[in-house]
């Protein structure tokens, strides 16, 4: 199979064009077609000569991902199964709410982390997604938002399958294209990258002066508890994570979001709330308390309403910004932590 032209380095493509006697400005035209205009084939590139289109098709391909499955929740959330050119499938979710239209996208096929409450964590990691595969998820859901709701896409969250910071280069390359005037022109402030917590890569984000928002899936502010539900903590302790997040804030001035699922009798006590406060007070942040979404592989249970209110009140009394996020798409296994491709 010919290489997808979107995987070809600009310099390499420029050399190719020069080798067949084409002017350098053709590079910009081709880039506009494959990123901004979302061309499905070289034949679509109407301002290129027939000869150039033929040469491109002989040397490269455009391997679009396609919607293989689609499920719509009673709350309007739509879950997509995207088939990649190699037959692998990833999932993405379009989430409509009164104030925003959000695309939840994946960064890997599967995941190498083994978070005990997340369905994707029970899959094997098959491979990283390439920049154009990440970009194209957004492209499809942007079009689907208009088609289904007549509302433009407003936000992107990297909260689908995979750990974004373990596919660092490709994720940042995709975001650069998404935010570029030559791509989708979306504001970086409307993009949130969520990580299970890899301290050295959070510091790298800071050094790279990223403009997008950062969220940490925390779920326990006690090393012993977090080790149990998120084994990544064994090599990325809370002390190291706190240091990395503070470094990130100092470099970028971006407020950080802490995501916290409150599990019954695991991390829902007043002591847990105190530990969360001690962790969170070190840098400007907001805390999103997330409803647990059941998966067949685990036996976790949501905390009670009373305990949730006590937990929330303690943090608010400490002047922390706290939001309780209700699940969307739970009835179609599209909610946070439920994305997984069932092995045949």
Positions marked active-site: 91, 336
The answer to whether the CB of 258 falls within 8 A of the CB of 264 is no
Tell me the C-alpha distance between 226 and 190, whole Å. 29
Angle at the Cα of 277 (from 301 to 323), degrees rounded to 5? 60
Question: From start to end of 123-190, where are the E strands?
Answer: 127-128, 155-158
- Cross-strand partners of 300: none
**Nearest to residue 337, comparing CAs of 117, 137, 128?**
117
Residue labelled with tokens 């695309």: 103
Q: Do 108 and 125 contact (CB within 8 A), yes or no?
A: yes
Stretch (H or E) spanning 256: strand 256-261
Enumerate helices (H) and strands (E) in the chain, giving the number of each: 10, 12
Chain centroid to Cα 327, Å, comes to 17
- The torsion angles phi and psi of 289, rounded to 5 degrees, stand at -85, 120
**What string of DSSP letters covers 273-308?**
HHHHHHHHTTS-EEEEEE-----TT----BPPHHHH
Task: Name, in order, each residue with C-beta under 8 angstroms of 313's C-beta and a sequence gap of 6 or more.
Answer: none
């Amino acid at each position: 199979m010919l290489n997808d032209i979107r995987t070809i380095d600009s310099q390499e493509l420029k050399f190719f064009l020069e080798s067949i006697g084409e002017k350098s400005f053709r590079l910009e035209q081709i880039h506009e077609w494959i990123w901004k205009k979302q061309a499905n084939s070289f034949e679509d590139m109407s301002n290129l000569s027939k000869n150039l289109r033929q040469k491109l098709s002989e040397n490269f391909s455009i391997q679009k991902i396609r919607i293989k499955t689609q499920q719509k929740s009673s709350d309007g959330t739509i879950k997509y199964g995207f088939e990649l050119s190699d037959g692998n499938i990833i999932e993405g979710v379009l989430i409509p709410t009164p104030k925003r239209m959000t695309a939840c996208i994946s960064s890997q096929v599967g995941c190498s982390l083994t978070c005990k409450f997340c369905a994707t964590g029970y899959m094997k990691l098959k491979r990283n997604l390439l920049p154009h595969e990440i970009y194209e998820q957004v492209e499809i859901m942007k079009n689907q938002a208009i088609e289904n709701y007549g509302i433009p896409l407003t936000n992107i969250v990297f909260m689908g399958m995979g750990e974004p910071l373990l596919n660092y280069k490709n994720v940042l390359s995709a975001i650069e294209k998404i935010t570029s005037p030559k791509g989708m022109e979306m504001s970086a402030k409307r993009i949130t990258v969520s990580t299970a917590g890899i301290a050295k890569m959070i510091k790298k984000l800071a050094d790279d002066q990223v403009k997008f928002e950062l969220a940490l899936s925390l779920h326990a502010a006690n090393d012993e508890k977090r080790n149990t539900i998120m084994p990544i903590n064994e090599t990325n302790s809370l002390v190291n994570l706190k240091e990395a997040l503070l470094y990130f804030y100092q470099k970028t001035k971006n407020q950080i979001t802490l995501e916290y699922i409150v599990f019954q009798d695991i991390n829902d006590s007043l002591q847990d709330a105190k530990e969360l406060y001690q962790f969170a007070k070190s840098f400007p942040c907001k805390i999103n308390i997330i409803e647990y979404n059941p998966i067949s592989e685990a036996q976790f249970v949501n905390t009670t309403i009373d305990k949730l209110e006590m937990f929330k009140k303690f943090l608010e009394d400490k002047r922390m910004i706290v939001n309780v996020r209700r699940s969307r798409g739970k009835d179609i296994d599209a909610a946070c932590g439920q994305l997984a491709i069932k092995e045949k």
